[in-house]
Amino acid sequence: MIDLKFLRENPEIVKENIRKKFQDHKLGLVDEVIALDLENRNAKQEADNLRYERNTISKQIGALMSQGKKDEAEELKKKVVEQSDRLKALEEKEAELSRKITEIMMVIPNIIDPSVPIGKDDSENVELMRFGDPVVPDFEIPYHIDIMENLNGIDLDSARKVAGNGFYYLMGDIARLHSAVLAYARDFMIDKGFTYCVPPFMIRSEVVTGVMSFAEMDAMMYKIEGEDLYLIGTSEHSMIGKFIDTIIPEEALPQTLTSYSPCFRKEKGAHGLEERGVYRIHQFEKQEMIVICKPEESMEWFEKLWRYTVDIFRSMDIPVRALECCSGDLADLKVKSVDVEAWSPRQQKYFEVGSCSNLGDAQARRLKIRVAGENGKYFAHTLNNTVAAPPRMLIALLENNLNPDGSVRIPKVLQPYMGGKTVIARK
């Protein structure tokens, strides 16, 4: 959510930003907010004047009563009652106008960074660079579920009976490999100086609306019936929510946290679920990283974060590339975003395995995450990035480490987490 004062003083900049995101249907919202804000400020001014006048009259009533001028005092009391009724009406009007303004401001997209490429959708994202040489082996790479089933590592049929499509049972060494990836990712980030955290897996609605756009919320979140609670779609939600309505001393920044959680997503929309696969599913586990920092440091942290994801994949010899997300592919709260994609030898193309986002002060403004500095208080900047989401990472790991006989090499960095095993083979 952008600053209302900024919108009021720079309406054309806000409109141009909306055009860059190809959301022209929102252009009228800028003028609507400005009109509502003016009406709200006028109501507030009138209310302030009434309060001042009422206080003055109250003093006059006291003076008249002490002088025995009861009739004059009673006349002034009638005026106070009239003013109280008007003041109550103005306060109700202020509350309603503030609600409308906030509702609209939550829909107007954040101002994107000038470096973001302009494009309508993800087809116009821009490749930044590649890391590692993509390899296509001289034998056929099976679909990832076939690799797992050959190693007795997955049971989709039972999961479908128990929970429906979009769920799975991981078994044996594949389940162990899944846990090894998470443990390695955890330790990787701890070695980078991040504090490990296991957060709540459910959050209240005020946190949900603080960390994401309404469109994302509708497409992603599961609500707990009868409770003001939602299952998290990523631990970023509860990790940023940890700082709701707080004032952080400037010297305590940056806050750098890495978190483990299960994640739950409706996967509502055009992509849908896979009938047979674990690329797009309702439930998965993930290691995440978040940073809360000074505004002037957020772009430096942004560059660090997405490169951490590159580093962890390259440490397992998985080729990756970094893609700069174009304006039309950015969620409304994001200032800038880079996706990391891993190489798929089977498809002979890259696919998304992580996403790094700088949200500027948008989440901090919604959640009231402030910093106390030498020159007063200001809103922090927030960033988040995927360290590892094993279902997708497993796909990349299995395909890039598959042997001709169907066994899978275990990267050296994961072997200590696999009891020293070097290969997963069919028993």
The domain boundary, picked from 75, 105, 135, lies at 105
In this structure, are 128 and 8 located in the same domain?
no
Q: Say how far apart CA 171 and CA 158 lie, in whole Å.
A: 12
For residue 234, the enclosing domain spans: 122-424
CB atoms within 10 A of CB 205: 14
Work out whether strand 169-170 and strand 154-155 pair parallel, antiparallel, or are unpaired: antiparallel
Domain termination site, one of 56, 71, 105: 105
Q: What is the pLDDT of residue 87?
A: 85
Q: Indicate if 390 and 249 belong to the same structural domain.
A: yes
CATH code at position 19:
1.10.287.40
Q: Does 111 reside within a domain?
A: no
- Verdict on whether the full-model pTM lies above 0.85: yes
Q: Is 85 exposed, middle or buried (0-12, 13-18, 19+ CB in 10 A)?
A: exposed
φ, ψ (nearest 5 deg) of residue 264: -130, 125
pLDDT of residue 271: 56
Q: What does the alpha-carbon distance between residue 427 and residue 419 come to, in Å, rounded to a whole number?
A: 17
What the block records as the tokens of 302 is 């942004």
pLDDT in tens, 215-272: 777 778 899 999 999 999 999 999 999 999 999 999 999 999 999 999 999 876 545 5
Q: How far apart are CA 319 and CA 139, in angstroms?
A: 19
Looking at residue 82, what is its pLDDT? Answer: 73
- Cβ atoms of 237 and 204 within 8 Å: the answer is no
419 conformational bin, left if phi > 0, alpha if psi -120 to 50, beta if neither: left
Same domain, 193 and 281: yes
Residues 88 and 126 in one domain: no
Looking at residue 86, its pLDDT comes to 83
Query: How many angstroms separate the Cα of 231 from the Cα of each of 25, 228, 283, 320, 406?
Result: 31, 11, 11, 30, 37
Kindly state the helix (H) or strand (E) to which residue 337 belongs, with its residue range: strand 336-344
Q: Residues 175-205: pLDDT tens digits? A: 999 999 999 999 999 999 999 999 999 999 9
- The per-residue pLDDT for 274 is 58
Residue 115 lies in a domain: no
Give the per-residue pLDDT at 268.
Answer: 63
Q: What is the full DSSP assignment across 76-89?
A: HHHHHHHHHHHHHH
Q: What is the pLDDT along the chain (427 residues), one digit of tens a residue?
A: 899 999 999 999 999 999 999 999 999 999 999 999 999 999 999 888 888 887 787 777 777 777 777 777 667 777 777 778 888 889 899 999 999 999 999 999 999 999 999 999 999 999 999 999 999 999 999 999 999 999 999 999 999 999 998 899 999 999 999 999 999 999 999 999 999 999 999 999 999 999 987 777 777 889 999 999 999 999 999 999 999 999 999 999 999 999 999 999 987 654 555 567 888 889 999 999 999 999 999 999 999 999 999 999 999 999 999 999 999 999 999 999 999 999 999 999 999 999 999 999 999 999 999 999 999 999 999 999 999 998 899 999 999 999 999 999 999 999 999 999 999 998 7
What is the number of structural domains in the chain? 2
pLDDT at 1: 82
Rounded Cα distance between 155 and 145, Å, is 9
Give residue 76's pLDDT: 73
CB 387 within 8 A of CB 25: no
Among the three residues 59, 74, 105, which one is the final residue of a domain in this structure?
105
Q: Is 92 left (phi over 0), alpha (psi -120 to 50) or beta?
A: alpha
| pLDDT 10s digits, 71-99 | 776 677 777 777 788 888 898 999 999 99
The whole-angstrom separation of Cα 22 and Cα 327 is 8
pLDDT at res. 267? 78
Mark whether 183 and 267 lie in a shared domain: yes
Which backbone phi and psi does 360 adopt, to 5 degrees? 55, -135
Q: What is the DSSP letter of 56?
A: H
